[in-house]
Amino acid sequence: MNIYSSNLVLFLGTLLITLSACGQQNADDKMINNNIAEVPAILKTEQAWKSLLSKEQYAILRQKETERPFSGKLLYNNKKGIYTCAGCGSELFNSDMKFDAHCGWPSFDNEISGNKIKKIEDRSHGMIRTEIVCSACNGHLGHLFDDGPTQSGKRYCVNSLSLNFKENIQKTPYDTITLGGGCYWCVEAVYEKLDGVIDVVSGFSGGSVANPTYQEVCIEKTGHAEVVQIVFDPSKTSATEILQVFFTVHDPTTYHRQGADIGAQYRSVIFYHNPQQYKIARDLVDEFNKKKVYDNPVLTEIEPFRVFYAADEEHQNYYMNNSNKPYCKMVIQPKLDKFEKIFKDRLRKKSH
């Protein structure tokens, strides 16, 4: 055999070995429908991923871990926009695909077209499931189930930390108002159910200390009140309705107190963001006192808004995450029941 024949045999042998290897798949990591796995468009070293992502994002996107249920910031996000891969920015879902599956993780009934999500058979933990990963960077997103409530029958169960959110710019500008009506857990729970409310954030306002902690506010050293900052769509609700709900679900006649919650941080206060809100609030209070709607005078303070400080994450969506706790059952639930009875035609419609 001459040198050229030897090289030809060596080449053919190498080619056969290569083709055989490409045809093999790990039993725990097979592409669904026998699709050949494509090389991801974005390749980085693990060190590069670690520098790009937070510690928690790296654990989920690169190491396939799972965040705690009901802990993700995007779980209750109701804004309109696009959900992108937190690793590479690829657009994966839009807000119209999102629904509340009551499972503890953001859920979607479809994906943006373009094969942006890969499905992989997952046999980990003694189960057979369908893992979903970003096609562009191979970042772990979550799992796909066939128990969705919509026509697609699908439920994309996704880790919140695997996603980023890009809000759409609305033609109709949203409005914002800041209200204090006792414990912000109570007030937040009510407005999260009102149709037209886009976002509700619990926090502090009206004091003199920057970035106060919950503990500092509780000992009345900051001058702040516990408040909720409400972003709403004026085409679906109004400042008038927002305030009608406000005066329905708390007692505006008690000084620095709501039930057993006593202190200046629990005062009844409206922080108006524009002259129209001031006029609506002033007219309502004057009318209530003139007609003696309450047994005692309305003591609600009406002040111009200056600054708002959001409370820690553990205080956000408190009722949704802790509805079985005694305070939620004994204090918050009666307020919700009253609101839902009086404003039953104005409740936010559940997704799907």
Residues belonging to the active site: 157, 183
* Longest CA–CA separation in the chain, Å: 112
Q: Nearest 10 degrees: CA dihedral of 332, 158, 314, 225?
A: -70
DSSP lists the bridge partners of residue 166 as 82
Element (H, E) at 257: strand 257-258
| Two structure tokens written together for 182 | 């006792």
The separation between CA 196 and the C-alpha centre of its own chain, rounded to angstroms, equals 16
* Residues 129 and 146 sit within 8 Å (Cβ to Cβ): no
| 177: phi then psi, degrees, rounded to nearest 5 | -140, 150
The rounded distance, in Å, linking the Cα atoms of 133 and 88 is 12
Cβ(180)–Cβ(331) below 8 Å? no
